Structure 1
Amino acid sequence: MDETPATPVVTIGLNAGQATFDYSMAELTALVEANHMTVVEQVQQALTKPNPGTYFGTGKVEELAAIVADDQVDTVVVNDELTPSQIRNLENGTKARIIDRTGLILEIFANRAQSREAKLQVQLAMLQYQLPRLHTSASQRLDQQGGGGGGGLANRGAGESQTEMSRRTIERSITHVNHELKEINQAAETQRQQRERNELPSVALVGYTNAGKSTLMNALVKRFGKNEEKQVFVKNMLFATLDTSVRQLIFPDQKKLLLSDTVGFVSQLPTNLVKAFRSTLSEAANADLLVQVVDYADVNRDAMMATTEQTLQDIGVTDVPMITVFNKADLTSTDYPSRAGDQLIISAKDDASIDLLVRAMKEKVFHNYVTANFLIPFDAGDIVAYMNDHCNVLSTDYQADGTAMRVELTSADFNKYKSYVVTDADSVED
């Protein structure tokens, strides 16, 4: 457990009259806490648009500088993405480190990435974020080098040269990381194609970070996982896990599917980060069904749903069927589990809720199943064994000329064994 005290910060935001402003500031606080920081004070200003030089107005920057000094904090976190000059000017005006919303989310992702792929994806997003901001750090170096003497002009050339060197280094790093990611993505695509050849339908859990996707996945894996497949990491924080986990579920009727738990979304998710994680999120794009998990106990759930749906559009996921699961109903006074069409109200901790969700998922992904009667000769025992292992056998009767079975199975399996189909149950029993 990390016992290091959380870093105190001041958060600031610009209220331009947007309906979601309070929500976005509350979300910023949650992001700050997820980055092992704590908010000691929040500063807001009502402006129709940001000041192009300093984000806040001049007077508000002076007020912010006084607050930073009084609270003895050295970090200010901003609720928007800033330009390089805004960051530089705010740092000069407050004598504090300025982290904009994009930089904060990138820091969280960098701290949480575990797999090689996730680390590379975050590295790529950070490099792309840093590239246009190089002259900020260069200017800071020039300020430090210039001091009070007359050497500023000579040092300026060195600073510009260093900036170009840094730019080339970052561009080379971006090329290298893209190459490594391409190799990883090819391997992942091969795995996906193998799963598709196995003809297993896939279901992807999507939704806002901390909505309970991993908890829901663990509940399903515990009940229906193959050979007690391992649980995924769960913690009550934003972006607890960044890696997509895929588990196979086998239901009592022998129906099987692949369930994936994708990285959570958040409003104003940095564009570079969405692009970098596109391959990870492709589990959603290639799914047969999306299950959008929503924190039903959160008063901002409508905004969270809008964020999820916008992010899905941003990564090109627009035509995959979806059911919406309002989770954490146990934290509300609502009766659960309940269902209205493709919307469910459940608790991931409740077995009856899991049963309701499974029925809804099965309706969507197993709609191509066929129920038929078969008469399998005794010398084709391997087919009987296959059906018992992979299909939903509704009845079995051993007759003089073979094994009569009524089976629910995929259309692919039906076509494979249709030569053993008999017309109806009566002809099987005769």
Structure 2
Amino acid sequence: MNRRASAPESTSPADLDDLDVARVDEASDDGFEASDDGGYDGDQLDLEERHALRRVVGLSTELADVTEVEYRQLRLERVVLAGVFNGDLRDGENSLAELAALAETAGSQVLDAIMQRRDQPDPGTFLGSGKAKELRDIVVETGADTVICDGELSPSQRRALEDVVKVKVIDRTALILDIFAQHARSREGKAQVELAQLEYLLPRLRGWGESMSRQAGGRVAGGEGIGSRGPGETKIELDRRRIRTRIAKLRRQIREMKTARDVSRHDRKRHEVPSVAIAGYTNAGKSSLLNRLTNAGVLVENALFATLDPTVRRAETSDGRTYTLADTVGFVRHLPHQLVEAFRSTLEEVADSDLVLHVVDAAHPDPEGQIQAVRTVLADVEAHQVPELIVLNKADAADPEVIARIRSRERAVVVVSARTGEGLAELQSRIEELLPRPDIDVEVLLPYGRGDLVSKVHDDGTVLVEEHLAEGTRISARVHPALAGELTGYAV
């Protein structure tokens, strides 16, 4: 069985509803709707800077005789999608629609799409020889320059499919890595993305003609010259060695940057500051929710993986308890394992938190699939033991039946709309209930000269009784273990 989706103009992710000719049409049909101009997404302090960065089409310093290793920014301009699914047709259509959204986020124009039901992808050409030839005809008809496959291709599958379609072929993993490379802004984020790209590239090195088979004298490639020549290594071997060296350097850099993150996290824990991590599927509205709760002013954009660098903001409960809110990178189905490993230090923010706000796009055609995809990644980083609160976002655009269905399946659910503000008061109330509370009862008499300790008890604990005596301030309170240790000398 094969399905084609045709869109002569620029496409957005769509619901491929027509069983004969499914058209990739309006973004709003598949839950990737843009916010209304009147919606509130914080101050958008990063949006202008992001919009100032745009690709310039047609500029290249690439040599006409291409001999360099294939490691450069992907040129995704006019693409055709190819998907293989096994099982429910709706799942296959949702996956292909998401691939279209990813392709557009990378800066491409989706021209057409083909999907096929198979028990498993063909080991030779991913689609099978017949469908590969049909895909070639579509490429010729549309004038596409790239084919994107909805899955991870082995090096041999990619080569075989390129031999048939005669244009560049990439897979879902390479596409996601390209999006991450465009959106990474911090030094740590850029290092993490480059590490993931190199690990993906290493087993897929390839060249053109005989360029990768040329040999250079043993140390000549390093510039040591006469007297250093010996049995050389081929160019592809040299490239592999250089990539391995770069990977080792990036891993060292990420470990060093992880140390600074660990110090900040341990400092918060030492002061008994509870932490809340906002996690969820990409484009579910996590950054919008953070802006609503804290006025963070972080970037909000109707695009997949708009947020890569974690943002931590301070917040307070209604009774004055301080906690932190951390926005994290979004997840997606079949998130490349290279990215999970590269971003492990960042994702530890979730594993070390006291509560996970699992944000779900309630207006998406398959919110349950999104929930499962996020939980799979959380289990990979050992964050599945952290208490979880499901936050059904975009309630203003969601089907009430879908919300009711998820409510019946999940234990802890709050329904909100970050755009309109609906349900935010209930969400803040649930956060207060689920955050850890001080659990050690103390009764102390603090001299008037220790106003700092009085302030700490009010900020970090729960004051039950307070009275001012001639000797000082007598307080009965419930505090955290660390503060209880500081108050030991003043117990009565």
Distance 1:389 1:61 in 2: 65
Q: Does 1:292 align with 2:363?
A: no
Amino acid at match of 2:137: A
The reply to whether residue 276 of structure 1 matches residue 342 of structure 2 is yes
% identical aligned pairs:
38
Match runs of 1:36-185 below 5 Å: 36-134=107-205, 137-138=206-207, 140-142=208-210, 161-185=234-258
Q: Would you say the 8 A contact 2:321–2:459 is kept in 1?
A: no
Q: Which residues in structure 2 correspond to 1:247-326 (within 5 Å)?
A: 247-326=313-392
Residues 254 and 392, structure 1, Cα contact 8 Å, conserved in 2: no
Q: In the superposition, relative to structure 1, how do residues 354 and 412 fare at CA in structure 2: closer, same or farther (>3 Å)?
A: farther
Displacement of 1:411? 4.8
Q: Match of 1:383? A: 453
Distance 1:379 1:186 in 2: 37
Q: Which stretch shows the higher mean deviation, 198-207 or 15-24? A: 15-24
Asked if the contact 2:279–2:359 (Cα under 8 Å) also holds between the matched residues in 1, the reply is yes
Mapped to 1, the partners of 2:448 and 2:267 lie a distance apart of: 32
Residue 303 of structure 2: aligned partner: 237
Q: Which residue of 2 aligns with 1:207?
A: 280
Separation in structure 1 between the aligned mates of residue 332 and residue 364 of structure 2, nearest angstrom: 14
Whichever residue aligns with residue 312 of structure 1, its letter is L
Name the CA distance, whole Å, in 2 between partners of 1:294 and 1:65.
38
User: What's the TM-score once normalised by structure 1's chain length?
Assistant: 0.84
Distance change in 2, residues 1:277/1:409 (3 Å): same
Quote how far apart the aligned CAs of 1:417 are: 3.2
- Which SS does the other structure have where 1:292 is aligned? strand
Structure with bigger helix share is 1
Q: CA deviation at 1:332?
A: 2.8
What is the aligned partner in structure 2 of residue 426 from structure 1?
A: none
Partner in structure 2 of residue 345 of structure 1: 415
What amino acid is aligned across from residue 109 of structure 1 in structure 2?
F
Work out whether 1:16 is the aligned partner of 2:89: no
Partner of 1:148: none
What residue identity is the alignment partner of 2:152? E
Distance in 2, Cα, partners of 1:332 & 1:170: 46
* Cα distance, 1:164–1:400 mapped onto 2, change above 3 Å: closer
RMSD of aligned residue pairs (Cα, Å): 2.9
1: CA distance between counterparts of 2:214 and 2:470?
Answer: 96
Aligned CA distance change for structure 1 residues 388 and 72 (closer, same or farther; 3 Å):
same
What whole-Å deviation, never above 9, does each CA across 1:329-376 have from its counterpart, x for those lacking one?
Answer: 122364999988521111224556222222222222233346776654
Partner of 2:265: 192
Q: Return the structure number with greater relative CO, CA threshold 8 A, min gap 6.
A: 2
Q: Mean alpha-carbon deviation: is it higher for 56-65 or for 369-378?
A: 369-378
Amino acid at match of 2:335: L
State the match for 2:43 in structure 1. Answer: none
| Structure 2 gaps, min length 5 | 1-50, 58-75, 217-232
What CA deviation, in whole Å up to 9, does each residue of 1:98-132 have, x standing for no partner? Answer: 11011101100111111111111111111111111
Separation of aligned partners in 1, 2:103 and 2:272: 43
Q: CA contact under 8 A between 2:317 and 2:432: conserved in structure 1?
A: no
Cα offset for 1:242?
Answer: 0.6
> Using a 3 Å threshold, how does the CA distance of structure 1 residues 163 and 416 change in structure 2: closer, same or farther?
same
Contact 2:273 2:323 in 1 (8 A): yes
Please say if residues 395 and 405 of structure 1, whose CA atoms lie closer than 8 Å, have aligned partners that are also in contact: yes
- Taking a change above 3 Å as real, the CA distance of residues 407 and 97 of structure 1, as seen in their structure-2 partners, is same
Corresponding residue number in structure 1 for 2:427:
357
1:232 maps to a residue whose letter is V
* CA distance in 2 between partners of 1:395 and 1:328 (Å): 43
Residue identity in the other structure for 1:176: K
